[in-house]
Amino acid sequence: MSGPKPTGSDAAAGANRNEQPQAVPPTGASEQQREAARHAAGAAYLSRQQQPWTLDRLKEGLSAGDRGALAKALTLVESHKAEHRRQARELIDACLRDGMGADTERSFRIGVTGVPGAGKSTFIEALGMHWIAQGHKVAVQAVDPSSAISGGSILGDKTRMEQLSAQAEAFVRPSPSRGTLGGVTARTREHLLLFEAAGYDRLIVETVGVGQSETAVHGMVDGMLLLLIPGAGDELQGIKRGIVEMADWLVVNKADGPGASKASETEADYRRALHLFPPTDHGWTPPVLRCSALTGEGLPHVADQLEAFRSHMLEGGHLLERRRQQAGTWMHEAIRDALTADFYGAPGVAGKLKSMEAKVRAGQWHPLLAAERLLGEFAGGGN
């Protein structure tokens, strides 16, 4: 299997200190013997790295929690090349068929959203470190806004989660949204499945912020956490009522120093406001909490509430039902993506798209009529 080479954060993940085995020279070995053992181990490691990535090797690597295999798999599913997309589908299908992912009894997926400046990255890093201390493996999908020039991530969350990124039990993956609505990258669902296949049981999706289209992540995770700023209401925080309704936890961050008293007031305000919202269909009452991701104060209580929600959803069968609904949504999204790709790749469409768009821009054709004509070309096979 040939495919895109891991770059950037992928290359760093592939070179993680836990991936390369250390030489173990015999007790009492001389320095020369130690050096020879290190050289032999390094040569064996490089030999394995130079082997082609086959589907079986990727599956084996994911099962073993190999970070290099995970980085390669993530890069593969993000590729737009037809051959890579075919390979990615085979890999995802193999993971699902072999039960390597989507285990509701073990994994827990949460989405974290909030306005810029709410401290999402600092909060996620603190929560991730807390989970690791409890024996979990943490994966973070940090979705950054995309550069209009290069299409790459602008913020690079991995550089803002240096402590978490350095942990052997964590994997931080910054990915550009590339214009995808909903505050998620186009392949977030595949990423989550691959994280789980690699043994990560606490998954976090950080979105680009709160906005009118910042809702798609809700259809990919088990629970949604809304991060709030002390001393600002909905109007100032730019939070839509619909997003508050989808939140399973509301957390007022930065509850330290001068912001402590304001955080208490904001917490009380939202608790009162939530009484006006309709009850959830699964019987969970979203708590309003406060913490300081910077100092760690209140963070253990937030983590306890996350786990309480998970237990509640598991016991009532709601978590499994939510995952099943999400699987159905994923199918419809895959159909739309495939049809869109086929439409723009159809020879009959590609040859007329630019000229038709030029006529629309010039006012010679109405956009709806132009779209109807192009769709007709596509449905007729371009004849």
Same domain, 81 and 137: no
Domain span at 375: 323-379
Res. 167: pLDDT tops 90: yes
Q: Is residue 1 part of a domain?
A: no
Is the pLDDT score of 145 beyond 70?
no
Count of domains observed in the chain: 3
Confidence of residue 191 (pLDDT cuts 50, 70, 90): very high
Whether residue 138 is contained in a domain is answered as yes
- What is the per-residue pLDDT across 290-316, written as a single tens digit (0 to 9) for each? 999 999 999 999 999 999 999 999 998
Please indicate, yes or no, if residue 147 is contained in any of the structural domains.
yes
Residue 43 or 317, more confident = 317
Q: 219 lies in a domain?
A: yes
What pLDDT sits at residue 141? 92
Shared domain check, 173 and 307: yes
Same domain, 182 and 152: yes
* Spatial separation of the C-alpha atoms in residues 221 and 109, rounded to whole Å: 5
CATH (domain of 114): 3.40.50.300
Q: Answer yes or no: do 57 and 83 share one domain.
A: yes
In a domain, 329, yes or no: yes
Same domain, 312 and 332: no
Residues 157 and 295 in one domain: yes
**Whether 201 and 310 share a structural domain:** yes
pTM: 0.78
